[in-house]
Chain A
Amino acid sequence: MASQEKCRIIDHQKVGPQHYKLVLASDYLSKHAQPGQFVQVKCSDTLDPLLRRPISLHQISPEHKTFALLYEVVGKGTNELTKLFVGENLDLFGPLGTGFQLDSQRNKHLLVGGGMGSAPLLALAERLTGQVSILLGAKTAANILAEADYNKLGHNVAVITDDGSKGKKGLVSDLLLERISQDSVVYACGPKSMLRAVAEICWQKKVDCQISMEERMACGIGACKGCAVKTKGGYKMACKDGPVFKGEDIIW
C-alpha cells in the first residue's frame, strides 16, 4: 500500500546536463518499495504545475532508510524540483505500481536502459544476484546516467551512444542482440522505440522480457484510467497494472 508523506531531502545533486539525483529519507518507502515501482511527487504547492509527477525509484536502501529518485528536467514540474534544497521536505505518494518480477529461476540477467531508462534499472541491479549485465545507451556520453553506480555493484557494464562519443556508436538494442542468449532474462526501460526493438528481439529469441512503460498519468492508483497502455488483454493502466509489463503483451 502506498503512503502519502513528506520526506526530508538528504542530498540533491546535478548528475547530467538536465539530470538531477534526489536522495530522500523514509522508513516506509525504503522498506516497502520494489524495483520498478514509482512515487507520485508533488512538485509545487501552487496550482501550476497541478498534478503530481510519477518518478521511478532509482535506489532503494532499507538499511539506510533512504531512497533515491533520478529525474530529467522536461517541464514545469521537474523544473520546480531543481529548486529544492537539502533539509527541505518533499510531498510524496508511493510506492505505486507493479514493478519488476525478480526471476530467480534464471541467473543470466540483461538490464537494458535507454537514456533516462537507466534510472529504475539501478534499483533492480541492486537486488539481482547471479550474472548481471547492464547495457546502457544514450544520445551522447553526457546522457549516460548512473554508470559509476552500476560499476560499484560489480556488474558487467557496457555502454553505447548514438554519436559514438562513448562506447560503440549505435543503439542499445544492437548491444542486446550481441549479448542475448537462450538462458537470459531481459529487463528494459527507455523510449518507446527502444522498448519495441527490445521486445521484438526477445520475442524472436524466445527470451522472457519485462519492460517498464511510461505514460502521462493523473491519479497513480488506477482510478482515472488516464495512463492507458494497449496490451493483448485490452487497455491496461501504467500506474497499477504496470509500469512493468511483459514485452510480449504490449501492442505497439
Chain B
Amino acid sequence: MVDLSLELAGIKLKNPVMVASGTFGWGQEFADYLDLNKLGAIITKSITLKPREGNPPPRIVETPAGMLNTIGLQNEGLEHFLRNDLPFLSKFNTPTIVNIAGESVAEYVELAKRLSKEPMVKGIEVNISCPNVAHGGMAFGTEPEATKQVISAVRKETTQPLIVKLTPNVTDITVIAKAAVAAGADALSLINTLVGMSIDIETGQSRLGRLTGGLSGPAIKPIAVRMVYETARAVNVPVIGIGGIMTGNDAVEFLLAGAKAIQVGTANFVDVTASLTILKGIEDYVDRHPRSLNFS
C-alpha cells in the first residue's frame, strides 16, 4: 500500500484525509461505523466559549447536488467539550484538531489559550467563516484587517499549529488568505460554505428558519477547486482543500490544484464511511500515477 503520510503545519498525519468541522460531530457519533484511527485527522464541530443553542428550524434544505444549512453553531461550549468529548477523541491514534468560533476577538483568544494547555489537542482550526451567526463568524473572514486582528491575537496565545478556515463569500480569497498568513496562520483550510437561499414558492417563505444558509456539497466543488488553486499559489503555507468531495477522484482534483490535504464534509452525511472510501480512492490514484502527487 502506498504511504500517504505527511507533516502539515507541524502536525503528523497518517494520510491527507481529514473530516470537516460540523460534519462529523465530536467523533463519537461516527465511532461505531468506522475506525477513527484510519483518518488523517478529526476536526471537531465548532466549539464556542459558552454553550449555544443554535438557530430555529428548519435548519437544512437540500438543493440540486448540495444542501443549505443554518445550524448556528449549536454546541455545549468549551467546558463540556474538555470534560466529555476530548477524552473520547484522545483514545484514538489520530490527531484531534479543534475548530473554534467566537463572537469577539477576546472569545477566540480565550478559546485558544485554554486549548493550548491540552496536550491531546494537536492543532486549532479558527473558524472565521461561519455564515449563520449574527455576531462574529464570517465577519472576521471577509475583511483582511479583521482577519489580521483576530489571527494575530490568537497567534500570541498559542504555539499550537494554527489552521485558518476561510470563507468563499469574498471578492478575492487570496487577499484574506495573505492576511491570515501574515498574522501567523500555519495553514489555511478552504472553503467553508457559500451563502445561499431557497424559497418555497407555495408559501413565498424561505425554506430555512433563518432566511439564508450555507451551501455545501458537490454543487460547490468547482468553486472550491478554483479557490484552492488560487490560494495555493498566493501563500507559502499548506492549503487544505474542502468543498463537495464525494470520491477519491474529487479529492485528487484538490490535491492537483495545490492542496496538501483535504477535508470530507457533506459526504459524511450520505455515507458514514465516505472518508475511508475517499482515502482508498486517493491510494488507488497514487498507485496508478506514482509521480503526480507529492507523496513519496
Contact A227 B272 (CB under 8 A): no
Does A222 have its Cβ within 8 Å of any Cβ on chain B? yes
**Known contacts being A93-B272, A225-B54, is A216 close to B246, with CB within 8 Å?**
no
Distance A1 CA – B34 CA, assembled complex (angstroms): 13
Instruction: Choose among B24, B57, B218, B270 the residue that contacts A223 (Cβ–Cβ < 8 A).
Output: B24
Mostly, the A contact residues are loop
Contact B57 A224 (CB under 8 A): no
Contact A229 B33 (CB under 8 A): no
Does B35 have its Cβ within 8 Å of any Cβ on chain A? no
**Known contacts being A222-B29, A225-B74, is A51 close to B58, with CB within 8 Å?**
no
Interface bits A151-164 vs B (CB < 8 Å: 1, else 0) = 00000000000000
Does B22 have its Cβ within 8 Å of any Cβ on chain A? yes
Contact A223 B71 (CB under 8 A): no
Q: Which of A21-29, A42-50, A128-136, A199-207 contacts B (4 or more CB under 8 A)?
A: A42-50
A227 CB contacts on chain B under 8 angstroms:
57, 59-60
B20–chain A nearest beta-carbon distance, Å: 11
Does B290 have its Cβ within 8 Å of any Cβ on chain A? no
Contact A223 B54 (CB under 8 A): no
**Known contacts being A42-B270, A50-B62, A230-B57, is A223 close to B25, with CB within 8 Å?**
yes
A/B pair count, beta carbons within 8 Å = 96
Contact B74 A47 (CB under 8 A): no
Instruction: Choose among A224, A228, A229 the residue that contacts B23 (Cβ–Cβ < 8 A).
Output: A224
B265 — nearest CB in chain A belongs to which residue?
Answer: A224
A15 CB contacts on chain B under 8 angstroms:
none
Does B61 have its Cβ within 8 Å of any Cβ on chain A? yes
A228 CB contacts on chain B under 8 angstroms:
54-57, 59, 74
Does A226 have its Cβ within 8 Å of any Cβ on chain B? yes
Distance A51 CA – B246 CA, assembled complex (angstroms): 12
Distance A42 CA – B269 CA, assembled complex (angstroms): 11
B25 CB contacts on chain A under 8 angstroms:
219, 221-224
Q: How many residues of A contact B (CB 8 A)?
A: 29
Distance A225 CA – B69 CA, assembled complex (angstroms): 10
**Known contacts being A93-B272, A228-B59, is A50 close to B53, with CB within 8 Å?**
no
Distance A215 CA – B209 CA, assembled complex (angstroms): 12
B residues 181-228 in Cβ contact with A at 8 Å: 217-218
A1–chain B nearest beta-carbon distance, Å: 5
Contact A223 B65 (CB under 8 A): no
B residues lining the A interface (CB < 8 Å): 22-25, 29-30, 32-33, 45, 53-62, 64-67, 69, 71, 74, 217-218, 246, 266, 268-273
11 more CB-based (< 8 A) A-B contacts, given A4-B33, A48-B65: A47-B65, A50-B66, A51-B67, A219-B269, A221-B29, A222-B25, A223-B45, A224-B69, A226-B71, A230-B57, A235-B57
Supply 16 A–B pairs (Cβ within 8 Å), ascending by A: A2-B32, A4-B272, A50-B66, A50-B67, A50-B266, A50-B270, A216-B61, A218-B69, A219-B23, A219-B269, A221-B272, A223-B23, A226-B69, A228-B54, A228-B59, A230-B57
- 6 closest pairs, A vs B, by CB? A223-B25, A226-B60, A223-B29, A47-B65, A218-B269, A219-B269
